[in-house]
Amino acid sequence: MVNGCGLFEPPPPPMARLSNAQDALERALSTGALNYAESEYRQAEHLIAVGWREIGRQNGRIWFLRNYNYADSLLRRAAELADNSARQSQDKIADLAAQARDTYRSLEEELTQWREALNGTLIHYSAERWWSQAEMHLRTARRLIKDGEYADAMHSARMGKLALARVGAELTERANNEVTQIKWWRAWVEETVRWSEIENDYAIIVDKSAHKTYLIKGGAVFKTFASDLGYNSASQKYFAGDGATPEGKYHITKVKSGNSKFYKALLINFPNDDDKQRFAENKRRGIISHWARIGGLIEIHGDGGHGKDWTDGCVALSNENMDALMKYVGVGTLVTLVRRYDGNLLK
């Protein structure tokens, strides 16, 4: 290169090209290229390093032998690769964002659908826990989408879908169980009503699904009371602390008018022989823990009338209804509890 005075000048190093390449690499990094377009980003990073060394090598040569063409081409290519990696990263992020939002919306819709399925008359505690886990994953996915962590958001949403699959499995198992059990519940109700008719005496029938306690007299419904149940009301009672209201045929063993934890109470003979046999078999098969206890102290008691299932397994009536019920029953009164009754005897 010849200057205006006719003197030869060495070519300047391509520092502007180097700066442009470095700026392009920084832009690519800011778009997430290291995560979403790592191959091209690393190539650009490598070429900048090689170009920088080439500039240094040329700077160390005799001035009239310096040639920065190779360094210039390396840095030019590095800038192109960095820009490409930025575009790839932005495209992938946009695609991930769309996928994450679609997965989030799909989970949200499924949550709503399963909520409607769970909003029946009885609480399935295990299914509710899985639904709650899915809801937690939905909230996490929403936060991650807001923070731009789309891959993690999709993972969280997928975990939510897996939890909802467990909800479906739990409800399917419950439905299959009810198909096999409904005939027994129907028979228990019919036997209790028939006994009441023959003996012209009082009996109690609790239909868990209807949330009703029926006082039967002479084979017909005499009075009906709204009932609160255990917080795991959709299940047979298997062990102490499972929150389930038992299902079976019992009788009152004790009347508590002033010495009850609740307003008033009627203690029933849970566990009966069937309960004990089922408990022992479930322990033998490993369905329940070896350390589980069968429990007891199942009552029809007062302090109810809340319109929700909250007890540890008892049947709760309002105090007014408890007073009304206790006018007619006492020790020895039959008490039959079923999950669901599909006949006409309780109408």
Tell me the pLDDT tens digit for each residue of 265-321: 999 999 999 999 999 998 888 888 889 899 899 999 999 999 999 999 999 999 999
- Sign of torsion, CA 55 58 63 66? negative
Q: What pLDDT is stored for residue 8 in this prediction?
A: 56
What is the β-pairing status of strands 265-268 and 248-256?
antiparallel
- What confidence tens digit (pLDDT) does each residue in 57-90 have? 999 888 888 999 999 999 999 999 999 999 999 9
* 235-258 mean pLDDT: 94
* 158-178 mean pLDDT: 93
- What confidence tens digit (pLDDT) does each residue in 98-127 have? 999 999 999 999 999 999 989 887 999 999
Q: What pLDDT is stored for residue 258 in this prediction?
A: 78
Q: In the chain, where are the structural domains located?
A: 1-105, 185-338
* 213-228 mean pLDDT: 97
Has residue 188 got a pLDDT over 90? yes
CATH architecture observed for domain 185-338: Beta Barrel (2.40)
Has residue 236 got a pLDDT over 60? yes
Q: How confident is the model at residue 10 (pLDDT cuts 50, 70, 90)?
A: confident
Share of the chain above pLDDT 90, in %: 82
* 33-44 mean pLDDT: 92
Q: What pLDDT is stored for residue 230 in this prediction?
A: 96
